[in-house]
Chains A and B, each alone.
Chain A
């Protein structure tokens, strides 16, 4: 009964390709998206598709020498819509998709594969400089400004001699004015670190016991509110970042889902309380966060302590037989998303009834 009132996740278009897909991103302000991946022979590929009356039209096919792991449009303005990518060799490239033959920006960012890239402030004005952050297997997290050639603006890596953990995921947040900015990074040993770029210091760190696959703030351009981190072993964590207690840290909740690795978390751009997690079994879970009555309480010592709310599972669908490697909500249409899975398929999915929340 109740089942039918819930939002439905429907696979609108499915397309099989002949290469491994790693990432997909909507091109802002268009019905087009890019997918990035690796050819069987080890070269990289970027494809641009357009959604057109229930079908996908391949618009462009860009071959690169190195497989491309991740990409983002977030650090580029709506006018330019340049795609920033990280490849298997550790190179950071920015492409003008109108003329993608030569990247407009290239930097040897890392010694090893760039696992994750995120951008900020490209489209939102007054939220600081457009910047990119890359996380790599070499254990370092670097912040880049496309205006500064070849050199990162900030590097966050372990000390010399310390163990270098594989950084699996990075995300920007807290970029609500031109100075404040935070980078969150998740590592393969379960470490989560939050770097304050304004103070150039570690703001907070924790260990989630299992490797952190994906991390995301609910919004980048607001004072940090919530952070979701997904891990191996079918668990994910939601932190309330409003209040930091010196002893207990941030209030958080954990949730079990998917019965496998939770590969990904993506917040809905149109509603920050709703997010989707993608599982190793090809399942998608749609969640809604419910705030508690009071977001903070004062404990016995008179120190503020955060209170975490709870989660409602809105929908659980299996769309693929293989892990879902990427999912991107369309910034322009609520409920529309593109996702790629390791079964070499890309899918445009529609989620209905999101407007009722």
Chain B
């Protein structure tokens, strides 16, 4: 045949081949789709796979029996002379083997029964040693022995339970709890382990969990006396803590002070936070229990308002329930020998995880040391009154400095003022009389305390925060008083609002006039605040009235020149 004919045939054949191939492809695609579908539907029986590769520990043990593990390991690797990688791997492998021995318990899944038996025997030896130490009450050494035993044979609940006992004795309650949990995991009918866990949990204040454990014990062994005893204790404690929270909120309800709402919120907060804290802080050190003898408050990572509420609650508790309630349900932690056991409330430390803690710096809380037998109530009263006396004395001194003529005028002015502002009469009364009438000195003392801690604001936000936080007139007076001259425009820039503006004017007209302080500078400062004209445009009638009295005051008391007053008056559009 001719060559060219042959070639033609080849080309045709190739084309045919390709056609066939493409056709085949199509069929194959169909087929594959079908197969794919089937595979996906198939549930597929579990194929038994070989174990995960390990560092050949088992094999080495099988090959070279009764030799130290590390020895065999070393020897084995030496037998391979491929230098570089080999040597390196030896070190690495050894480390890895050690690591695995500790971390990966599943390693021992492949231990033969014989090996397990041997390990158990050795571990039991360690355990017996530990038991001897326990009899000698050498707890830490006993723990060492049990740990060794566990390392050798981690499947015996007894080792864990015994170690838990030692941990309990050493007051490592968290360790004790985890050990007993491990024991329970291995043997869920191990009464002793439950008992130990319950004790540990009680000590770390997980009462509910402890209760559950005890109930489990009683299910397993209905006549277990220890469990019953513990259960009683726990129930008492549970009741007590419940009572504490209920009590705290009810006293607040009784309280008719305006702050009650805030307090309630924060007590709620504390209870919730306490619960959270209890859950999250399982690993924290045993909680600080406040002693009964002295009423020492140790705020640890508390928010300042919580501290205050706690202190308040404390005092109020004492006031309101002079023994009636507390006698019935006294906190278990208060020892009986305390003389004023009925009047002591235990203040729980508030423990919060770091991310929930306040970012504010801690406020100083003055610690009062009280002597036994003195009625607290009276004591605080006296103290406050003496405070007020001091205040009065100060005022007196101020008055003395003022010229006599003027003081007469002021009195007149004051009277006039009081008549004008009839509705605010009670607030404007002589400061000497005020605290005597209002016996609830705790609340009075509160703002004056706060003032000391409120710094001079630098921005409008700071100002507004402090301003709004405490709306007592006295506080606001002190707050304004400490502002240096010309600071108001700087603080506020252009963010003065009309309500704040009128509040400031109100304070000026009430508190400042009452105390005969300088007002003119404030009026001047206010007039320099940006957007002042806008503020004046929206001024209310009562504000206008106040402003008029203020100017009157400036004229008569401060002796400001007529010119200055009139220019300022123009600005205020009066």
0/1 interface trace, chain B 31-53, chain A, CB 8 Å (1 if under): 01101100100101001011111
Are B47 and A147 within 8 A (Cβ)? no
Q: B312: CB under 8 A from chain A?
A: no
Known: A1-B3, A143-B53. A159 touches B28 (CB 8 A): no
User: Which chain B residues lie closer than 8 Å to A32 at the CB level?
Assistant: 36
Beta-carbon contacts of B104-128 to A below 8 Å, as 1s and 0s? Answer: 0000000000000000000000000
- For the complex, is B55 an interface residue (Cβ under 8 Å from A)? yes
Determine the distance from Cα of A335 to Cα of B24 in the docked complex, in whole angstroms: 11
Among residues of B, the one whose C-beta sits closest to the C-beta of A162 is B84
Asked whether A303 is an interface residue with its Cβ less than 8 Å from the other chain, the reply is: no
Stretch at the interface among B9-17, B229-237, B376-384, B493-501: B9-17
Q: Which residue from chain A places its CB closest to the CB of B100 in the assembled complex?
A: A151
> B80 to A31, Cβ gap below 8 A?
no
B87 in contact (CB, < 8 A): yes
A29-B32, A143-B53 are known contacts. Are A200 and B25 too (CB-CB below 8 A)? no
Nearest A residue to B92 via CB reads A155
| Nearest CB of B to A206, in Å | 13
Count, A-B residue pairs, CB within 8 A: 116
Whether the Cβ atoms of B39 and A29 lie closer than 8 Å is yes
B53 and A130 contacting across the interface, CB-CB below 8 Å: no
Fill in one digit per residue for A283-303: 1 if any B CB lies within 8 Å of its CB, else 0: 000000000000000000000
Q: Give chain A nearest CB distance to B5 CB in angstroms.
A: 12
Cβ of A40 within 8 Å of any chain B Cβ, yes or no, is no
Are B42 and A335 closer than 8 Å at their CB atoms? Answer: no
User: Do B80 and A201 have beta carbons less than 8 Å apart?
Assistant: yes
- Asked whether any CB of chain A lies closer than 8 Å to the CB of B7, the reply is yes
Q: Are A202 and B32 in contact (CB under 8 A)?
A: no
B17 to A153, Cβ gap below 8 A? no
Q: What band does the interface of chain B fall in when counting residues whose beta carbon is under 8 Å from A?
A: 35 or more
The interface residues of chain B lying within 8 Å CB-to-CB of A335 are 21
Q: In the complex, are the beta carbons of B93 and A200 less than 8 A apart?
A: yes
Whether the Cβ atoms of A4 and B14 lie closer than 8 Å is yes
Main secondary structure of the interface of B (DSSP, over half): helix
B-contact 0/1 string along A146-180, CB 8 Å cutoff: 01100001111111101000000000000000100
Give how many A residues have a beta carbon under 8 Å from the other chain's beta carbons. 52
**Inter-subunit contact A30/B89 (CB<8 Å):** no
Question: How far is A200 from B47 in the complex, measured between Cα atoms in Å?
Answer: 26
Instruction: For B52, give its contact among A129, A160, A193 (CB under 8 Å).
Output: A129
Asked if B21 and A148 make an inter-chain contact with CB atoms under 8 angstroms apart, the answer reads: no
Q: Does B573 contact A (CB under 8 A)?
A: no
CB-based nearest B residue for A145: B52
A115 vs B87: C-alpha distance when bound (angstroms): 26
A352 sits at the interface (CB 8 A)? yes
Q: Nearest-CB distance from A83 to chain B (Å)?
A: 15
> How far in angstroms is the closest Cβ of chain B from A338?
13
Given contacts A54-B22, A145-B52, A159-B87, contact A31 B32 (CB under 8 A): yes
Contacts of A42-80 to chain B: CB distance below 8 A: 51-54, 77-79
Query: Judging by beta carbons under 8 Å apart, are A199 and B52 in contact?
Result: no
B220 contacts partner chain A, Cβ-Cβ < 8 Å? no
Which single residue of chain B is at the shortest CB-CB distance from A5?
B10
List chain A residues, Cβ under 8 A from B6: 1
Query: Do the beta carbons of A10 and B93 come within 8 Å of each other?
Result: no
Partner of A158 from the list B28, B42, B88 (CB cut-off 8 Å) is B88
Residues of B contacting A256 in the complex (Cβ-Cβ under 8 angstroms): none
Residues of B within 8 A of A313 (CB): none
Q: What are the residues of chain B within 8 A of A77 when measuring CB–CB?
A: 44, 47
Find chain B residues with CB under 8 A from A145 CB.
52-53
Give 1 or 0 for each of A256-284: 1 = CB within 8 Å of chain B CB.
00000000000000000000000000000
A255 within 8 Å of B by Cβ?
Answer: no
Q: Is B337 an interface residue (CB 8 A)?
A: no
Contact B39 A31 (CB under 8 A): no
Q: Which residues of B contact A202 (CB under 8 A)?
A: 80, 82, 84-86
- With the chains together, A158 CA to B87 CA distance in Å? 10
Q: In the bound complex, do residue A336 and residue B53 qualify as a contact, i.e. CB atoms below 8 Å apart?
A: no
Residues 313-329 (chain A) with a chain B CB within 8 angstroms: none
Contacts of B50 in A (CB 8 A): 128-129, 178
Chain A: which residue is nearest B49 at the CB level? A129
Contacts A5-B10, A77-B47; is A147 near B85 (CB within 8 Å)? no
* B49 neighbours in A (Cβ, 8 Å): 129-130, 147
Q: Does A353 contact B (CB under 8 A)?
A: yes
**Which residue of the partner chain A has the closest CB to B35?**
A29
Contacting A at CB under 8 A, from B285-340, are none
Q: Is A131 an interface residue (CB 8 A)?
A: yes
CB proximity of A256 to chain B, nearest CB, Å? 28
The minimal Cβ–Cβ distance linking A151 to chain B, given in whole angstroms, is 9
Contact of A125 with B10 at beta-carbon distance under 8 Å, contacts A10-B18, A51-B29 already known = no
Contact (Cβ within 8 A) A31 B29: yes
Contact A153 B32 (CB under 8 A): no
From 59 to 105 in chain B, residues with beta carbon under 8 angstroms from any chain A beta carbon are 77, 80, 82, 84-89, 92-93
Is B429 engaged at the interface, CB distance under 8 Å to the other chain? Answer: no
Cα distance, A334 to B33, chains bound together (Å): 17
Are A156 and B89 also in contact (CB < 8 A) when A128-B50, A147-B52, A353-B17 are?
yes
The complex places the Cα of A147 from the Cα of B358 at a distance, in Å, of: 44
Binary contact track A7-19/B, C-beta < 8 Å → 1, others 0: 0101010000000
Q: Is A350 an interface residue (CB 8 A)?
A: yes
Say if the beta carbon of A333 comes within 8 Å of chain B.
Answer: yes
- Are B21 and A159 neighbours in the complex by a CB distance under 8 Å? no
Scan A198-226; emit 1 where CB is below 8 A from any B CB, else 0.
Answer: 11111001000000000000000000000
Bound Cα distance from A227 to B50, whole angstroms:
26
Which A residues touch B35, using CB under 8 A?
29-30
A79 touches B3 (CB 8 A): no
With both beta carbons as reference points, the residue of chain A lying nearest to B47 in the complex is identified as: A125
Q: Which of A53, A156, A332 contacts B85 (CB 8 A)?
A: A156
B239 beta carbon closer than 8 Å to chain A: no
Contact status A12-B25, CB under 8 Å: yes
Q: Say whether A197 faces chain B, with CB atoms less than 8 Å apart.
A: yes
Nearest chain-A residue to B10 (Cβ)? A4
What chain A residues lie within 8 Å of B44 (beta carbons)?
Answer: 77, 79
A352 in contact with B21 (CB, 8 Å): yes
Question: A159: which of B10, B14, B55, B84 is its contact (CB, 8 Å)?
Answer: B84
- Please state if A148 and B18 are interface contacts (CB–CB under 8 Å): no
Closest to B33 in A: A31
Q: Which residues of B contact A1 (CB under 8 A)?
A: 3, 6-7, 10
Q: Judge if B268 is at the interface, Cβ distance under 8 Å.
A: no
Could you mark each residue 471-501 of chain B with 1 if its beta carbon is under 8 Å from any beta carbon of chain A, else 0?
A: 0000000000000000000000000000000
Q: Which residues of the partner chain B approach A52 to less than 8 Å between Cβ atoms?
A: 29
Against A, the Cβ 8 Å flags (1 = close, 0 = not) of B200-223 are: 000000000000000000000000
A193's closest neighbor in chain B, by CB?
B85
**CB <8 Å contact, B56 and A200:** yes
Closest 8 CB pairs of A and B: A4-B10, A159-B88, A153-B53, A79-B44, A31-B32, A202-B82, A30-B36, A201-B80
16 example contacts (A-B, Cβ-Cβ < 8 A) are as follows A29-B35, A30-B32, A31-B28, A79-B42, A129-B49, A129-B53, A197-B53, A200-B55, A201-B80, A201-B82, A202-B84, A202-B85, A205-B82, A350-B25, A352-B14, A352-B21
Other contacts beyond A4-B13, A31-B28: 14, CB < 8 A: A1-B7, A79-B44, A129-B49, A129-B51, A145-B53, A154-B53, A158-B85, A193-B85, A201-B77, A205-B82, A332-B28, A333-B32, A352-B17, A352-B21
Which A residues contact B (CB, under 8 angstroms)? 1, 4-5, 8, 10, 12, 29-32, 51-54, 77-79, 125, 128-131, 143, 145, 147-148, 153-160, 162, 178, 193, 195, 197-202, 205, 332-333, 335-336, 350, 352-353
